Amino acid sequence: MLVAIGANLPGPDGEFPLENCRRAAAALDALHGMRLVALSRWWVSAPIPPSGQPDYVNGVARLAGQISPEALLAALQALERQAGRRRPEAPNAARPLDLDIIAMGRLVRAGPDPILPHPRAHLRAFVLAPLAEVAPGWLHPTLGQTAEALLASLPLQRLSPLEA
């Protein structure tokens, strides 16, 4: 399972977005029946589409375990709420934590939520670069391309590893 982690606002306790992301990664490892097996470096990216909001901190976690897509989505949304995220919000709004299921093995589903693989992951350098770190050679379940190939095909997006 691949889960994208992102944040660009402080949490309710005033912690910086990087700390929100680190806490989320630790919480993923603590989910019942789940184990964090790999975590990418943290990356800094510009918001997409450009909006004037703060840059994001992004990473990808690779998890092992048995869980249904619906249960994983509910667990991720609970972690987002604990970090201060409130729904509904405007699309692409700034947030203290954003957790997205990118893929669950080769599972493909059009609905109900979560849609798998994530419908926009292949368009986002801030997902593909860290994903390639934790799952080198991963193949997109419907496009049949690796994260590395998808990343190379994207127009330039501002993205750099975070020095921390």
Q: How confident is the model at residue 72 (pLDDT cuts 50, 70, 90)?
A: very high
Does the pLDDT value for residue 61 go beyond 90? yes
Instruction: Report the pLDDT averaged over residues 56-61.
Output: 98
Class (C level, CATH) for 2-161: alpha beta
Instruction: Report the pLDDT averaged over residues 40-64.
Output: 93
Closest to 104 in 3D by CA, of 76, 125, 85 = 76
Q: Which residues have a Cβ under 8 Å from the Cβ of 57 and sit 6 or more positions away? A: 6, 7, 8, 17, 18, 20, 21, 42, 43, 44, 162
Tell me the one-letter amino acid at 25: A
pTM here is: 0.95
Tell me the one-letter amino acid at 66: Q
Q: Which residues have a Cβ under 8 Å from the Cβ of 118 and sit 6 or more positions away? A: 4, 100, 101, 102, 103, 127
How much of the chain exceeds pLDDT 90, in percent?
84
**What is the domain partition of the chain in residue ranges?**
2-161
CA distance 25 to 1: 13
- Determine the pLDDT at residue 8: 96
How much of the chain exceeds pLDDT 70, in percent?
98
Q: How confident is the model at residue 164 (pLDDT cuts 50, 70, 90)?
A: low
Instruction: Report the pLDDT averaged over residues 71-83.
Output: 96
Structure confidence by residue, pLDDT tens digits, 86-145: 876 677 789 999 999 999 999 999 989 999 999 999 999 999 999 999 999 999 999 999
Instruction: Report the pLDDT averaged over residues 7-36.
Output: 94
- Determine the pLDDT at residue 86: 82
